Homo-oligomer: A and B are copies of this chain.
Amino acid sequence: MVFRNGSETFKLNLFPHFFLISFLSHFCSMHLPISQLIQANKDRKFFFNFNENPKAYSEEEASKGLLDFQTRLNTNYDLPANPSPASRCGEEVSPYLQTGLGIHYPLLDADTLVNNGQHAFKSWKNTSLDQRFEILYASLENVSKRFFEMAYATMHTTGQSFLMSFQASGPHACDRSLEVMVAAYEQMSYYPEKIDWVKNMGKFDLTLHKTYKPVSKGLGLIIGCSTFPTWNTVPGLYADLITGNTAIVKPHPKAVYPIAIFVEELQKVLTEKGLDPNTVQLAADESANPLTKKLAEHPGVSLIDYTGGSAFGNYIESLGKTCFTEKAGINSVILDSCKNIDAVAQNIAFSVSLYSGQMCTAPQNIYISKTGVETADGIVSFEDAKAKISNAIKALMENPKAAAPTLGAIQNDFTIRRIEDKISQHQAQTTSINVQVENAEFSSARMMVPSIITTTAADEKTYMEECFGPLIFIVETDSYNQSLALTKTSAQKHGAITCLAYTISDDKMKEIEEEMNSAFTPVSFNFTGAAFVNQHAAFSDLHVSGGNPAGNATFTNADFINKRYIWIGNRYML
């Protein structure tokens, strides 16, 4: 898409290597010079290395991807490090087909995994930063040749639409991996490798030779989730690997295939380079016999990256290991005032419907004052504002081209049951969007149209908890001040990854920014049109602040890198 329009020339002038890379990315292992990648990471402007547009890739790649996916069904997915495993496991079910994928992965026990990872650490920690960068980049290049297979693998494990599956699990995940690698390259090159320290002592100079090196911590465990099995996993995975640590990827048992592609491509490159393929391992497991706690508590595991629910995340944080968590949160919308309420309602409708609200960045609670919403056309009452949002969702659901691709499918039955329970407890307050959305391609797709529960500020027990999936709460408050206060308290107590705010008052904008930022929550202001609060772009948006209960780590700040090794300075008298 980017290369099919008038801005192409402009971009080419800015980035002379860019054209070459994006078009040749699936043919050869090239990237911008690291200094330019570091600058892009620091600049935070629009930047990508892997093209997000499926149309930028060839028809052949598209058909091969589908064929590879279909061929994989009902087979064993063995890996270079485990060509003939003694045991296998696999329990993935397509949210679109509601039938099992029949793919089985190597099943290893915790001790074996840890021993392998510790053994591989002995060689991996002694590779150079440049060598690791090139190996990891090559793995991303190889993954990029499988973006279509990746898209189908993601669709049929997570329920994401084809386009989201393609983008999130493919180019976006690869760009976030590259962002991590670039950040690490900069951080780990901070100190000089060696210097002479010369202190004049009066009659003589005291000279000490000093060295500085980042010493890797050891073996890392990366615990994935079922909805974003690569996007949320690869930052921790590539962060461990680029910093010289080895890695065990423990995917959600219902979403293994997408990340298995990354692990496979990494192991292939490692093997080609004569390195231990167990530098990165897949720890597929069974829901009935999970490996996660055994691995997390194993004394041989030094680092843990985690995406998932808060209770388990808090347990991970309590283990006293170096850990990086993304947990649950409640994302809020403050709807105070706006120019065009219809544009706002449409924007909110899309953000809450996208992947049926199963994104960690999706809004859940919408706070509107009972005094209504000030607009260019006068005050819109609370009831009218609510109706605008409800109607915008309805219109989106009635749009046959947009509805099914926007919703995707629900990843698992539990999400459906939880929302049905919640609705049944609040039937009088629930606005159902009475549209039957059909997925023309997959008649068995597990789908659910978003619902709205209307409530008042006082009824916190109804809305003040994360309700993952296609259900939102429109909360009537006494005033803008109460809307802001509740949004802030919610972020402080329950965590928040995003906050969406609509106001035409500069003073209120400043106040919302200050108050929400002081609760360590970023704010997106007045998004309409093609800007959606759900989207966090690599090389620009910091994902999760690390300062509220939604998580303790950020994609990708310096801490996400530096906590994975220890700087050691040795001194030598020569």
Contacts and interface: CB of A to CB of B under 8 A. Distances in A.
Interface in A492-528: 513, 517-518, 520-528
Interface in A7-47: 7, 11, 42-46
Contacts of A558: 187, 190, 558, 562
A435 interface: no
A390 to B, nearest CB: 23
A196 B204 CA distance: 55
A274 interface: no
A44 B195 CA distance: 7
Interface string A203-235: 111101010110101000000000000000000
Contacts of A212: 44, 542
Contacts of A563: 559
Nearest to A500: B571
A171 B364 CA distance: 55
A537 interface: yes
A458 interface: no
A547 interface: yes
Interface string A444-456: 0000000000000
Contact of A200 (B5, B197, B200, B513): B5
A496 to B, nearest CB: 12
A244 to B, nearest CB: 12
A353 interface: no
A529 interface: yes
Given A190-B558, A542-B567, A566-B545, A528 B198 contact: no
A557 interface: yes
19 contacts: A1-B200, A5-B203, A44-B195, A45-B196, A45-B197, A212-B542, A215-B517, A520-B568, A522-B568, A523-B571, A524-B571, A526-B572, A528-B573, A529-B573, A531-B573, A540-B569, A557-B562, A559-B563, A562-B562
Interface of A: 1-2, 4-5, 7, 11, 42-46, 187, 190-192, 195-206, 208, 210, 212-213, 215, 217, 513, 517-518, 520-531, 537, 540-542, 545-547, 554, 557-559, 562-563, 566-573
List of 9 A-B pairs having minimum Cβ-Cβ separation, nearest first: A547-B566, A524-B571, A7-B200, A520-B566, A525-B572, A526-B573, A542-B569, A517-B568, A206-B530
